Amino acid sequence: MAFKEYGIHDAIGLADLVRKKQVSASELLDEAIARTARVDPEINAVVVKHYDDAKRQIDQGLADGPFTGVPFLLKDLENLAGTRTTFGASIYKDNFAAYSGTLAQRFLDAGLAIFGKTSSPEFGLMPTTESRLFGPTRNPWNLAHSSGGSSGGAAAAVAARILPVAHASDGGGSIRIPASASGVFGLKPTRARTPLGPDRGEGWGGFSCGHVVSISVRDSAAMLDAIHGPETSSPYVAPQPQRPFLEEVSRDPGRLRIAFTDKSPYGDAIDPEIAAATREIAALLAGLGHHVEERAPVLAADPAAVMSTIVAANTALTVRLAEQRFGRAMTSGDFEVLTLASAHNAQKASATDYVAAQLGAFQISRALATFFESCDVFLCPTLCSPPLRIGELNTMSEDLSHIAPILRRYMPATAMFNMSGQPAMSVPLAWNAAGLPLGMMFSARFGDEATLFRLAAQLEQTRPWKGKLPPVCA
């Protein structure tokens, strides 16, 4: 019999019911699987299903943690021993992980029952999730639109209430972009807050990190408590939190100094509904007692140029490792045209170009650190145009010149906080006239997730979003 109350609970609530023996982990898993069967044919979010593995996890005894018994999905960029991990790439369609990533193991240690993997664009390179291998992941609010990327499968699955929380990762906005596009909560932690091992000490030159997207703020905070902290191989560590992040959710944020802008950091015009929504939220914050003023940081370098060089170099290494593994040159039958083009661009660049990009990232980071000396939080739109339509970005096109202008218009503000390493979150506070979500992005000083969690909880209480459900919903 289905667990009818499943959809009204967040992950902490479900774990509490398991703890009180009001429902079993097996019943929760069965409900998550049933919900996947109902809505995934429409949204295409859960692309790898290993239900039997999750059932074995339960039968063998889940770890005693804060989320014991809660069903969970990994992004298809994270290894879980014995399960299919494709990275969204055709060449890896039959790849099975020989071991688990450190982060995946921490999710297991938290008591989660991992029953599958969510879709990602090939190697997480795009802000939309439309890999050639699996096809497009569609937005539960409007199936003609993208759910965002690169954690688009995770955000769509959570938005459609297949489950209340799912793994996500962010190297240039890939937690916040799909959180905004799909109408869920997504916080990118401080650099090095969560582990990337055992294969890597950092990703994309320190830009990447892993966490979750969720329905509730407290799930995000409690999950960060469960997974944060260095591992043996960590090249550097994030500042220690003063107290558990979950405790911050119940603390008063106080009177914060909040700067805001309704403009693109490039000075370009943005979607008028998004600009109006940003100003509305700024007024809401002032009404809550915060000091709000309109101003924005001036960037010392171009984030798009920095990101292009750093990501291209990492993509080139990905292609080289595949060539070594398979013993041949990679073609467009193996990788998408965009992936190969990015790798080719890296081969044309020099080591000096890479160091120059690193310097650009440092200059951006320095400018942001200076800006935050006079404010606690910065508010701007997560995305500067509504969620993209399916097919608007074509990674298999022989002419890729359409991509850069779309990225500049769509997501100009997210990557700068990957470069600075600062925490930033997308909060689902607005919807446009067409019914598509418009996330608001808040960022704080390096190491200060606490302020963001306090503010997010205040906004969640003032302008709740949990009851707002998309047309495609389990």
Q: Is 90 exposed, middle or buried (0-12, 13-18, 19+ CB in 10 A)?
A: middle
- How far, rounded to the nearest angstrom, does the alpha carbon of residue 47 sit from its chain's CA centroid? 17
Q: What is the mean pLDDT of the segment spanning 392-401?
A: 96
Residues of the chain with pLDDT > 70, as a percent, come to 100
Q: What is the mean pLDDT of the segment spanning 150-174?
A: 98
Write out 120-182 in H/E/C secondary structure: CCHHHCCCCCEECCCEECEECCEEEEECCCCCHHHHHHHHCCCCCEEEEEECCCCCHHHHHHH
Separation CA 364–CA 314 (nearest Å): 20
75 belongs to the catalytic site: yes
Q: What is the mean pLDDT of the segment spanning 53-63?
A: 98
**What is the per-residue pLDDT across 202-248, written as a single tens digit (0 to 9) for each?**
999 999 999 999 999 999 999 999 999 999 999 999 999 999 999 99
For residue 1, the model assigns a pLDDT of: 41
For residue 4, the model assigns a pLDDT of: 77
Q: Which of 100, 147, 150, 180 is catalytic?
A: 150
**What is the per-residue pLDDT across 13-47, written as a single tens digit (0 to 9) for each?**
999 999 999 999 999 999 999 999 999 999 999 99
Q: Which of 49, 75, 117, 263 is catalytic?
A: 75
- How far, rounded to the nearest angstrom, does the alpha carbon of residue 357 sit from its chain's CA centroid? 24
**What is the per-residue pLDDT across 238-250, written as a single tens digit (0 to 9) for each?**
999 999 999 999 9
Q: What is the mean pLDDT of the segment spanning 40-66?
A: 98
Residue 474, both tokens? 């389990």
Please give the residue that has the higher pLDDT: either 5 or 467.
Answer: 467
Mean of the per-residue pLDDT values of the chain: 97
Bond into 182 cis (ω within 30)? no
Other Cβ atoms within 10 Å of 431 Cβ, number? 17
Q: 425 by DSSP, 3-state: which? A: strand
For residue 137, the model assigns a pLDDT of: 98
Q: What is the mean pLDDT of the segment spanning 250-269?
A: 96
For residue 313, the model assigns a pLDDT of: 98
Residue 366, both tokens? 């320095």
For residue 12, the model assigns a pLDDT of: 98
- CA triplet 114, 246, 241: central angle to 5 degrees? 105
For residue 269, the model assigns a pLDDT of: 86
Burial 16-55 (b: 16+ CB within 10 A, else e): ebbeeeebebebbbbbbbebbeebbeebbbbbbbbbebbb
Q: 469 by DSSP, 3-state: which? A: coil
For residue 2, the model assigns a pLDDT of: 55
Q: Which of 119, 120, 131, 174 is catalytic?
A: 174
Cβ-proximal residues to 225 (8 Å cutoff; 6+ apart), any chain: 66, 244, 245, 246
Query: Where does 31-129 show beta strands of DSSP type E?
Result: 46-49, 71-75, 113-118
